[in-house]
Amino acid sequence: MEPMTADELTATVIERLQDTPDPRLLAVLTALIRHLHGFVTEVRLTQDEWLAAIRFLTATGQICDDRRQEFILLSDTLGVSMLVDLLAEPTSSGTAGFATESTVLGPFYVPDSPQREYGASILERPSGELTWYSGLVTDTDGNPIAGATLDVWQNADDMLYAVQNPDSPPDNLRGLFRTRDDGSFAFLGVRPTDYPIPDDGPVGQLLARTGRHPWRPAHIHVIVSAPGYQSVATHIFDSGSKYLTSDAVFAVKESLIRTFERHEPGTTAPDGVPPGQAWYSLRHDFRLSRTA
């Protein structure tokens, strides 16, 4: 006999999962069915709404390609990516003595950036206000970590990452750097600008239907890693952004906000800054915790 009530149907579906050999998969799927059925029951989802949801998810998949990942955007804008991040993160990180806090990876990370030398520029064409980024990678006691890797990427002043822009050199504004023996790193990049997440697809329609803006506060992305340490995917946010309190993807953490320092034309500038041009600098240290 088929189940007759909503509760019986939920119990029957969960019962059908019981031969799942992987205990974690069983636990996750059981909770998923319980919450999904609970949600459908709570809102008394209609046939039309169910069909609209199927169409929305279909459109979300259909707009994905090598350069566009709409499901990550959906997860980010629903706060799921940051919830996963918060649950993974030790609560005390970000404070003195603890590791640098993580935040969303986002959909524009592209592996295999070019390796670049200490102090090199990540600009492969003019892309914004030149900024000298420098700092140390240390352990949580402040001891320098030599040979740590920084994988950095940022958007240009047209608000696009290289991967979003077919006219951009593919490696513009991204690069891999290794810390020197004293744990130091440095590179020339640009001052980040606020930018909207792609809003010409299903996720953008959902934002518009719910009265939300698509903007992210200006930031640069860094993944810091070293053998024997937990790697961290993080951002440095610009304290001057007006979107720090309304990030479209909920990814701002207080400990990741920094103030960029402006240097007027004529001040001694790093290599790569043309004479007579203003530039910015940002010093930021990253702390990694040891793997267990």
Q: State the residues that interact with Fe ion by CB under 5 A.
A: 106
Q: Per CB under 6 A, which of residues 94..133 are in contact with ligand BEZ?
A: 104, 106-108
Least distance CB 174 / Fe ion (angstroms): 12
Which of the choices Fe ion, ligand BEZ, none does residue 104 contact, using the CB cut-off of 5 to 8 A by kind? ligand BEZ
Q: Nearest 5°: phi and psi at 22? A: -80, 115
* Binder of ligand BEZ out of 123, 249, 252, 269 (CB under 6 A): 249
Task: Indicate which of Fe ion, ligand BEZ, none lies near residue 73 (CB less than 5 to 8 Å, by partner kind).
Answer: ligand BEZ
| Residue closer to Fe ion, measured from CB, 145 or 162 | 162
* Using rule CB under 6 A, residue 160 touches ligand BEZ: no
Q: What is the rounded CA–CA span in Å between residue 1 and residue 282?
A: 68
Check residue 250 for interaction with ligand BEZ (CB under 6 A): no
- Shortest separation between residue 164's beta carbon and ligand BEZ, angstroms: 9
Does the protein bind ligand BEZ through residue 162 (CB under 6 A)?
Answer: no
Size of the site for ligand BEZ (CB under 6 A): 9
DSSP one-letter string for the chain: ----SHHHHHHHHHHHTTT-S-HHHHHHHHHHHHHHHHHHHHHT--HHHHHHHHHHHHHHHHT--SS--HHHHHHHHTTHHHHHHHHHS-TTTTSTTSPPPP----TT--S-PPB--TT-B--SS--SSEEEEEEEEEETTS-B-TT-EEEEE---TTS--GGG-TTS-TTTTEEEEE--TTSEEEEEEE----EEPP-SSHHHHHHHHTT---EE--EEEEEEE-TTB--EEEEEEETT-TTTTS-TT----GGGEEPPEEE-TTS---TTS-TT--EEEEE--EEEPBP-
Least spacing, CB of residue 276 vs ligand BEZ, in Å: 33
189 near ligand BEZ, judged by CB under 6 A? no
Find which of Fe ion, ligand BEZ, none residue 249 binds, CB within 5 to 8 Å per kind. Answer: ligand BEZ
Of these, 76, 101, 194, 199, which contacts ligand BEZ (CB under 6 A)?
76
Least distance (Å) between residue 106 CB and Fe ion? 5
Q: Which residue is nearest to Fe ion (CB)?
A: 106
**Contact with ligand BEZ (CB under 6 A) among 70, 73, 113, 223:** 73
Interacting residues with ligand BEZ (CB under 6 A)? 73, 76, 104, 106-108, 197, 216, 249
